[in-house]
Chains A and B, each alone.
Chain A
């Protein structure tokens, strides 16, 4: 079945360092979404990527969709303590009615 894997599972960085999480799908995705979940909170939508090779930026966050539309990455430049949380990618199922969520990358930022 369809699987969406993320690496790393955990990442600890010093404040100011960069951070990257990678998402890989076993199948080609029509689009991919990224969510952030703060500790004790619920997932919050960040962005959707649709086109092959697409790159989108939100302030210090850069999202990329692979050329083959089977992988994606989220890069945070100069992390801040407010970036703490778990970042999930999510890809749609064949029906498009719902999304498979990746395993998530938990980011800890050490001040």
Chain B
């Protein structure tokens, strides 16, 4: 386990469909974050887990978005009833203390 793994790398979906992304953090990292990044912008915070507890959620995370980290290891991010505005790169990061290690992201395109 050399880094943060995200699957799939790319996802194209039709508007209105549900999608789910997976993140496998670095195994000893207890903190896990989801960020969203659109072209030309910095990553925007979505949600944060410490172990299995979801401790913080951004107001960006509408009720169509839900994230889980059931056993404090991998995490999933689900988007229901996708909209074109959801098209973005979804980045997962994990950390043990100070700095993030980001995964390669899942690029979502809603058509």
Q: Per-residue 0/1 for A31-68: is the Cβ within 8 Å of any B Cβ (1 yes, 0 no)?
A: 10101000001111100100000000000000000000
**How far apart sit A100 and B33, CA to CA, in the bound complex (Å)?**
12
B91 touching A43, Cβ below 8 Å:
yes
**B15-49 interface with A by 8 A CB criterion:** 33, 35, 40-45, 48
Contact of B33 among A33, A35, A88, A98 (CB under 8 A): A98
How many chain B residues touch A (CB < 8 A): the figure is 21
Q: A48 vs B33: C-alpha distance in the bound complex, in angstroms? A: 18
Identify which of B40, B56, B98, B102 contacts A43 (C-beta below 8 A): B102
A104 within 8 A of B: yes
> A42-B105, A97-B48, A97-B55 are contacts. A103–B99 as well, Cβ < 8 Å?
no
Most A-side CB within 10 Å, residue of B33, B56, B102? B102
Q: A42-B102, A95-B56, A97-B55 are in contact. Are A103 and B33 (CB under 8 A)?
A: no
Residue A88 contacts which of B42, B55, B99, B104 (CB distance < 8 angstroms)?
A: B42
Residue of B nearest to A95 (CB): B56
Q: Which A72-111 residues sit within 8 Å CB-CB of chain B? A: 88, 90, 93, 95, 97-104
Which B residue sits closest to A90, measured CB to CB?
B42
26 contacts between A and B (CB under 8 A): A33-B98, A33-B99, A35-B100, A42-B91, A42-B102, A42-B103, A42-B104, A42-B105, A43-B91, A43-B102, A44-B102, A45-B100, A48-B98, A48-B99, A88-B43, A95-B56, A97-B48, A97-B50, A97-B56, A98-B33, A98-B45, A98-B56, A101-B35, A101-B43, A104-B40, A104-B41
